[in-house]
Amino acid sequence: MFFAVPLFALRVVEYTQVQLLVAAAAHDLVNDLHRCKNMSSQLKQVVTVQATERTPSLLAGKRLAILIPNGFKYVIKVAGQIKEEMTLAEGMRLAGLVTFMPPAGVPEKPSSFILSSDYKTTTIEIDSQGDISVP
């Protein structure tokens, strides 16, 4: 019984950490979706936000080489050209695609993004008017 309490506490801390990680990533994604919607209407160009899987890569410097493992990211494309890439934390998974059309910046069709980790899944929805919500 004496060992059960610390193990339970560690499990609670881990669970809370995952919850906060997913909530922060969802908040950042929602902010980027709002920014892309405004960018589409201001630039009068097609803006796409797409979730993709990272491929492992090797960053090599003069004295150090770092292997970046698999994971997920989302890219922001303006007129078909990648303008930004946002990498998610290790263990996070993301699926979704939305294309904002000029001149009003409304999506081509209603879309959703599913953001998940071990214990938590969050859905971000974009309706046909461009309203973004996290139910």
Can you point out the beta strands (E) in 38-131?
47-54, 57-60, 65-68, 71-78, 81-87, 93-101, 106-107, 111-116, 121-126
The overall pTM is greater than 0.75 = yes
Cα-Cα-Cα-Cα torsion 42, 78, 27, 116, nearest 10 degrees, comes to 150
In the block, residue with structure tokens 């959703």: 112
Domains of the chain: 4-133 (3.55.40.10)
Question: How many other CB atoms are found less than 10 A from the CB of residue 27?
Answer: 13
Question: Can you give the pLDDT of all 135 residues of the chain as single tens digits?
Answer: 555 556 666 777 777 788 888 999 999 999 999 999 999 999 999 999 999 988 766 555 666 666 666 789 999 999 989 999 998 988 899 999 999 999 999 999 999 999 998 878 999 999 999 999 998
